Amino acid sequence: MSLIEALLSTAPDATAGWWQPSREAHRVIVERHGLPDRRQENWKYTALRPIEGHRYQAPEQGVLQPEDLAELLDANGVPQLTGSRITFVNGHYAPALSHVDDVAGLKVRALSQLGDAEAASASAELATEFSRPDEGFAALNTLLASDGVLLEFSGTTHADGQDMATAPVVELLFVDVPGATPAATAVRNIIKIGPGASLSLLERYVSAGEGVALINSLSQVELEAKSRLSHVRLPLLGEERSLISRLDVRLGEGSDYRCFGLDLSGTLVRHDLNVAMVGRDAQASLNGVYAPRGKTHIDNHVAVDHRVPDAVSSQAFKGVLSERSRGVFNGKVVVQEGADGTDASQSNANLLLSPDAEIDTKPELEIYADDVKCAHGTTVGALSGDQLFYLTARGIPEVEARRMLTTGFCREVLEGIPVESVRDHAISLLTDHLQDIQA
Amino acid sequence: MTQNILEIKDLHASVEGKQILKGLTLTVAPGEVAAIMGPNGAGKSTLANVLAGRPGYTVDSGSVSYLGQDLLALEADERACAGVFLAFQYPVEIPGVNNTYFLRAALNAQRRSRDEEELDSMAFLKLVRARLKALHITDDLLHRAVNEGFSGGEKKRNEVFQMAVLEPRLAILDETDSGLDIDALKIVADGVNELRSSERGFVVVTHYQRLLDHIVPDTVHVLMDGRIVKSGTSDLALRLEKEGYAWIQEELAA
Amino acid sequence: MATENQHIKELVKRRYEPGFFTDIESDTIAPGLSEDVVRFISEKKNEPGWMTEWRLKAFALWQNMPTPKWAHVHYPEIDFQAISYYSAPKSGAKYESWDEVDPKLIETYDKLGVPLHERARLAGVAVDAVFDSVSVGTTFRKELAEAGVIFCSMSEAIQDHPELVRKYLGSVVPQGDNFYAALNSAVFSDGSFVLIPKGVRCPMELSTYFRINELNTGQFERTLIIAEEDSHVSYLEGCTAPMRDENQLHAAVVELVALDRAQIKYSTVQNWYPGDEHGKGGIYNFVTKRGDCRGERSKISWTQVETGSAVTWKYPSCILRGDHSSGEFYSVALTHNFQQADTGTKMVHLGKNTRSHIISKGISAGRGQNAYRGLVQVNKKADNARNFTQCDSLLIGDRCGAHTFPYIEAKNATAQIEHEASTSKISDDQLFYCLQRGISEEDAVSMIVDGFCKEVFKELPMEFAVEAKKLLEVSLEGAVG
């Protein structure tokens, strides 16, 4: 059974009527294009082989009790967070594991719970057509998604200068609990931040138990004028779990989006982060750390599309590749004709720690306007000898010095996370992870 | 007689196959501040780096005894743990590594090697604040990454501050005065003077006399072409300042 | 901004000086490509059987290859059956002495600034002049022969040095390497052949001057340069074509082989007809250039100034096979009006302690589209490989495009790779500063552009650097003010 056949077999039988037409349209697209392969430029460095060869099935739902979840989070070093949490287990909304704070303007619902009338506000997103041959997983997502969140926040206008650190926090928690058979799940999230509102979003994936699982996640995020969103993504994946995620973000005038990803584990992890600057003076800060080990493959594809003048975007991604792992970074900036005053920067730095590790990086610029500031820098290398000597000359043993430098190399990127507790958590995940890596 | 802190005998060392030190001999007693002066390219920085064990510096022959033990047999971190401190000429920037965190890691590594208990962050912070106060340095450098974005003066001040926290037995100052204005120079010199004690030896490597106005040395040694060619007291430094190095060359030739 | 755009429009139309046509009788075969055409070309050139077979194998490969579509360029599908694959001046291709060469040909090269006649020859530069499909003559042959250097046309090399051609032809760019290389391998007409023997430092610059003259012909030349152990050569290449409304295809292959400690410096000033200001006509320049640093401590350096052609698709590359070998790529590519360029390099690090250095300067004006595409690949056994890449783009006007597509693949933990890119425009501040000091806008622009390209120009041999600067000025006429 091919991968596509296996995945198609997990399609939900019956779904809400308002979702059905778009599912059927994407069935046609999926049948036409199938899944992407390495002949497509966007998949040149990522083969699907690691996730092939499994007879995927849609896993059971409702298998996790609140005390199980508490234990699971504890085991993953997740601290108690204040704020709202929406939990999905094996791709299905788990009301018993979720709570939403009473925050004015915050509306959080599972797609599966929406009535026809409420679904209207999600219909445009669900009907988005993913028809390019290289976006097969997004097309599949529309066809297969079992559930997901519709989050709308129209909270009070933030005072100018108000720190994003104090915005309300919402956590999206995706727990996968595969059974004896390999599990495939798909979730779809729609997030809308109203004019002037500020929100802090934490997107977390946690694996329970052993087993093979493939998660297909697609989120569509809309930031209206002058709104702000900080978005931290922490996939705490088990060794045999894979994640194919796509995040499409549209930034309205004067809005501010900051995204931080930390990828440390899994079999195959692929992120497509597409950011469209559709309003003037929008700002996007896209950041990521990847530190795979073992045979983990992590691929970050970032594309920023400057369609209007005077928007600012930055990409900062850092990778530490050890053992037999492989990293891929493809950062793209497109500045469309007329998007003058664009300021786009891009940086990707990599440390290769093992003779068997590999990094493929491709920082692209496509520029059709002349009054722009665009620059990128990319490096691949080993730890600096000068830095290493400085540390050892102060008495720090070499092994520890290497670890300190490796951690320092990455943590810079995470230090921009606005919410302190989330920042500390992300940094401690990174530090613990790098603790036993032979640098 | 008390044991010397440092005894260098007939040291030959090279960098990238090029011989720089050609039979250097030097002794530093407890409490002594020894200034090493010399023209550019004489081997001053090489000496500092060889003593600290920097990779790429090869000792071809000779010996270095530090408090009676063979210093050259130790790795760079083992030397630091044994109490050898190098204040760098060009302190490297290490983005992402917090200065306080770094210094505590260094101090605890050194304490571990002496079988002393490690300091927890409270105790460490207390120590750090005391040292800052003694050196009249503000605490803003604690919150920054190691040397990142520091001005030349701040970098050198950070070196002296680290020295004060780590309390070495032998401190080697490699051109600590280079690139400093007079105010920064005084702060650095005051810091060093604060740390002078009968237990501790200093090797102060410098190109100019002006640092020695503020850190008055017990002995002054002239390093030329890889060897100590003349030794004296602080008067020697003053004469060098006035007359340069040519007269020594002439004396040697005679 | 507005004033700047205004100036762009106001400035004079550029002139393409080499755009004339030489009225000379030619032997041109009917358009179309088949096995018979391949055999015809081979027969016409009186080639041995192995050469014919080699071409036929290439043709068979080509027939099963799709045209490459990945480059950032757009042009109508090429009808390969509408092109004539052989054209030669009728008066014959080989001359015993320069006096026998059709005076019209000599005149053509004179007009192009490449005098072939002995009394006017460029001092210190030996020239092989290729007119449409064939070499019309090579200067300074005697002097070069004395040094042991072989410098002749590819046709002659196949006749006179078959063992060398058999050994090296296709050893760097095999017949099936890519679509256009396969096409070239099947139908190449002529080109230059160079062998610098062991220990010889070539006493003068070698150069080839390519000229497309006939209508509806394609030009497919093939160049092979072999530098034996401890030898050294600097090679220059120039090219022009008449102004025509039709697009013409140029698909060349250049192969370089550097043995132990050998050094090859290959410089190109490419000034094929770029088409007019409406994007009509111009050359499709689809070229495969690759150097193989086969020996230890060998070095290959590519320098190119690309101002011509309607569409350029070329990636002069280095295979760094020998330990301690090094590769360099210096490029200025300018696109104006409707010109499109997708150019860059590949540095493939295979040996230990290999180095590569890439400097790319792209200038886009008018509606020109300019893309840098480069690959830096450090393979598993290439310990201590180093690469530095800098690619800068300069935009002149708001309707052009500048693109950067670097591919970096590192499979060795000792690799050190640095890539930097920037994009800028000629700022109003810079222009005003110059104006305020009394420099005209046009001069200011060429000064700024010249400064932007300096790092590359300094790699060119002197005479070429001057020509390149002038060429850039002419090509930019009408672009700015």
pLDDT, tens digit (0-9, with 9 covering 90-100), for A145-164:
999 999 999 987 555 555 67
Give the mean pLDDT of C85-109.
67
Q: What is the mean pLDDT of chain A?
A: 92
Q: How far is B210 from chain A (nearest CA, A)?
A: 27
Residue A44: closest CA among chain C residues belongs to which residue? C407
Closest Cα to residue A339, out of C370, C478, C401? C401
Reply yes or no on whether the pLDDT at A439 is more than 60.
no
Q: How would residue A63 be classed by pLDDT, with cut points 50, 70 and 90? A: confident
What are the pLDDT digits (tens) for A251-260?
999 999 999 9
Asked whether residue A427 is domain-assigned, the answer is no
Of A397, A398, A405, the CB nearest to B97: A405
- Minimal-distance CA residue of chain A relative to C380: A355
- Dihedral over alpha carbons C101, C105, C111, C113 (to 10 degrees): -60
Does the residue B216 lie in any domain?
yes
| Phi/psi of residue C62, nearest 5 degrees | -60, -40
For residues C478 and C481, what is the distance between their CA atoms, to the nearest angstrom? Answer: 8
Q: Is residue B80 part of a domain?
A: yes
End-to-end Cα distance, chain B: 36
Please judge whether A366 and C401 are an interchain contact, meaning their C-beta atoms are less than 8 angstroms apart.
yes
For the stretch C339-370, pLDDT in tens is 999 999 999 999 999 999 999 999 998 899 99
- Measure the CA–CA gap between C128 and C125, rounded to whole angstroms: 10
Q: Tell me the residues of C at the A interface, defined by beta carbons under 8 Å apart.
A: 1, 70, 72, 378, 380, 393, 395-425
Chain B residues inside the 8 Å CB shell of A411? 96
Check if A360 contacts C (Cβ < 8 Å): yes
Q: Is the pLDDT of residue C109 over 80?
A: no
CA distance C109 to chain A (A): 39
Residue B82 to residues A355, B32, B76, B162, C426, Cα–Cα distance (Å):
34, 18, 10, 15, 58
**Predicted-complex ipTM score:** 0.89
- Mutate: best of B97, B111, B112, partner A, most A CBs <10 A: B97
Nearest CA in chain A to B163: A394
What is the percentage of chain A residues whose pLDDT exceeds 90?
78
Rounded (10°) angle between helices A20-33 and A136-144: 150
Contacts of residue A159, defined as CB under 8 A and 6 or more positions apart, other chains included, come to none
pLDDT of C247 strictly over 90: no
- pLDDT of residue C4 exceeding 70, the answer is no
Q: Where residue B1 falls among pLDDT bands split at 50, 70, 90?
A: low
Nearest chain A residue to B97 by CA distance is: A408
Rounded CA-CA distance B40/B25 in Å is: 19
pLDDT band at C481 (very low <50, low <70, confident <90, very high): very low
Pick among C408, C418, C426 to test the A interface (most A CBs inside 10 A):
C408
- Alpha helices, DSSP H, located in A12-113: 20-33, 66-75
pLDDT of A115 strictly over 80? yes
Chains C and B touch (3+ CB pairs under 8 A): no
Dihedral, CA of residue C408, residue C411, residue C413 and residue C419, to nearest 10: -10
pLDDT of A77: 84
pLDDT at A210 over 50: yes
pLDDT band at A18 (very low <50, low <70, confident <90, very high): confident
Q: The domain spanning residue B71 has which CATH number?
A: 3.40.50.300
The pLDDT value given to residue C238: 80
* Boundaries of domain holding A79: 3-383
CB hemisphere CA count around C264 (13 angstroms): 33
Return the ∠ at Cα A231 (arms to A226 and A234), rounded to 5°.
Answer: 180
Q: What tokens were used for C122?
A: 């460029």
Residues of A in contact with B113 (CB under 8 A): 395
Record: contact C409-A360, CB cut-off 8 A: yes
- Please give the C-alpha separations between residue A36 and each of A266, A325, C258, in angstroms, as whole numbers: 20, 22, 41
Examine residue B126 and state whether it is found in any structural domain, yes or no: no
- CA dihedral (C72, C398, C9, C474) in degrees, to 10, reads -50
- Backbone region of residue B12 per phi and psi (left: phi > 0; alpha: psi in -120 to 50; beta: other values): beta
Residue range C211-230: mean pLDDT, rounded: 85
Of A386, A400, A409, the CB nearest to B92: A386
The 8-class DSSP code of residue A402 comes to H
* Strands C205-211 vs C232-240: parallel, antiparallel or unpaired: parallel
- Chains in contact with B via at least 3 Cβ–Cβ pairs below 8 Å: A
Mutation for B interface: A396, A406, A431, most B CBs within 10 A: A396
**Number of H-type helices and E-type strands within chain A:** 8, 19
Range with lowest mean pLDDT among A4-18, A76-90, C190-204: A4-18
- Between chains, do A364 and C406 touch, taking CB under 8 Å as contact? yes
The predicted structure's pLDDT at residue A14 = 67
- Percent above pLDDT 90 for chain B: 55
Positive or negative CA dihedral for A360, A366, A370, A372? negative
- Angstrom distances, CA of residue A123 to CA of A21, A127, A190, A382, C343: 11, 6, 10, 49, 44
C408 vs A378: CB contact, 8 Å cut-off?
yes
What's the whole-number average pLDDT of chain B?
A: 90
Under 8 Å between Cβ of C49 and C158:
no
In a domain, A404, yes or no: no
Residue with tokens 């058979």: A181
Give the pLDDT confidence score for residue A204 in this predicted structure: 96
Q: How far is A142 from chain C (nearest CA, A)?
A: 29
Q: Flag whether A402 is in a domain.
A: no
Cα–Cα distance for residue pair A366/A364, rounded to 1 Å: 7
Residue corresponding to tokens 């390495």: A38
State which amino acid sits at residue A69: L
Q: Touching check for A364 and chain C: CB below 8 Å?
A: yes
The gap from C-alpha A327 to its chain's centroid, in whole angstroms, comes to 15
Within 8 A of C412 by CB-CB distance, chain A residues are 352, 355
Per-residue pLDDT at C137? 67
B27 phi/psi in degrees, rounded to 5 = -130, 140
Is B6's pLDDT higher than 80? yes
Sign, CA torsion C40/C44/C45/C47: positive
Name which of C12, C10, C1, C7 is nearest C427 in CA terms: C1
Interface of B with A (CB under 8 A): 52-56, 75-77, 79-81, 85-86, 88, 91-92, 94-97, 102-103, 105-107, 109-110, 113, 145-146, 162, 166
* Of C403, C407, C424, Cβ closest to residue A365: C403
CB spacing of C405 vs A369 below 8 angstroms: no
CA of residue C393 relative to chain centroid, distance: 20
- Contacts C403 to A, Cβ<8 Å: 364-367
Cβ partners under 8 Å of residue A333, min gap 6: A303, A304, A306, A313, A315, A344, A346, A364, A365, A366, A367, A374, A376
Please answer yes or no on whether B110 and A395 come within 8 Å at the CB atom.
Answer: yes
What does R_g of chain B's alpha carbons equal in angstroms? 18
- State which residue of chain C sits closest to A321, comparing Cα positions: C413
Both tokens of residue C441?
């806008």
Asked if the Cβ–Cβ distance from A360 to C416 is below 8 Å, we say no
CB contact under 8 A, B76 and A404: no
In the predicted structure, residue C241 carries a pLDDT above the cut 70? no
Domain count, chain A: 1
**C462-479 burial string, b = 16+ CB within 10 Å, else e?**
ebbbebbbebbbbbbbbb
Q: Using a CB-CB distance cutoff of 8 angstroms, which residues of chain B are in contact with residue A439?
A: none
Can you tell me the distance from the alpha carbon of B177 to that of B185, in angstroms, rounded to the nearest whole number?
6
- Taking CA–CA distances from B86, the nearest residue in chain A reads A393
Give pLDDT, residue C134.
64
Three-class SS string for chain C?
CHHHHHHHHHCCCCCCCCCCCCCCCEEECCCCCCHHHHHHHHHHCCCCHHHHHHHHHHHHHHHCCCCCCCCCCCCCCCCCCCCECCEEECCCCCCCCHHHCCHHHHHHHHHCCCCCCHHHCCCCEEEEEEECCEEEEECCHHHHHHCCCEEEEHHHHHHHCHHHHHHHCCCCCCCCCCHHHHHHHHHCCECEEEEECCCCECCCEEEEEEECCCCCECECEEEEEEECCCCEEEEEEEEECCCCCCEEEECCEEEEEECCCCEEEEEEEECCCCCCCCCCCEEEEEEEEEEEECCCCCEEEEEEEECCCCEEEECCEEEECCCCCEEEEEEEEEECCCCEEEEEEEEEECCCCCEEEEEEEEEEECCCEEEEEEEEEECCCCCCCEEEEEEEEEEECCCCEEEEEEEEEECCCCCEEEEEEEEEECCHHHHHHHHHCCCCHHHHHHHHHHHHHHHHHCCCCHHHHHHHHHHHHHHHCCCCC
Alpha helices in B30-151 (DSSP H): 44-52, 76-81, 99-113, 121-135
Distance, CA of B23 to CA of B13 (rounded, Å)? 8
Dihedral class, residue C106 (left if φ above 0, else alpha if ψ from -120 to 50, else beta): alpha
Instruction: Provide DSSP, A281-344.
Output: T-EEEEEEEE---TT-EEEEEEEEEE-STT-EEEEEEEEEE-TT-EEEEEEEEEE-TT-TT-EE
Phi-psi group of C277: left, alpha or beta (phi > 0 → left; psi -120 to 50 → alpha; rest → beta): alpha
To the nearest whole Å, the CA of C467 is away from the closest chain A CA by 28
Question: What is the distance between the alpha carbons of residues A22 and A144, in angstroms, rounded to a whole number?
Answer: 11
Q: Is residue A438 a part of any domain in this protein? A: no
Q: Give contacts of A382 with chain C, Cβ < 8 Å.
A: 413-414, 416
CB distance A230 to A426 below 8 Å: no
Asked whether residue B190 is assigned to any structural domain, the reply reads yes
Q: How confident is the model at residue C434 (pLDDT cuts 50, 70, 90)?
A: low
Cα–Cα distance for residue pair A335/A338, rounded to 1 Å: 8
Residues whose CB is less than 8 angstroms from the CB of residue A41 and which lie 6 or more positions away in sequence, other chains included:
A134, C70
Q: In 3-state terms, what secondary structure has residue B61?
A: strand
Q: What is the mean pLDDT of the segment spanning C223-235? A: 96
**Residue-wise pLDDT tens digits, B201-231:** 999 999 888 889 899 999 999 999 999 999 9
Q: Is residue B114 part of a domain?
A: no
Q: How far apart are CA C404 and CA C375, in angstroms?
A: 11
How many domains does the structure of chain B reveal?
A: 1
CA distance A167 to A155: 10
Residue B103 forms part of a structural domain: no
Pick from B181-185, C7-11, C53-57, C100-104 the range whose average pLDDT is largest: C53-57
For residue C6, name the pLDDT band (cuts at 50, 70, 90). very low
Q: For residue B188, give its domain range.
A: 6-94+169-253
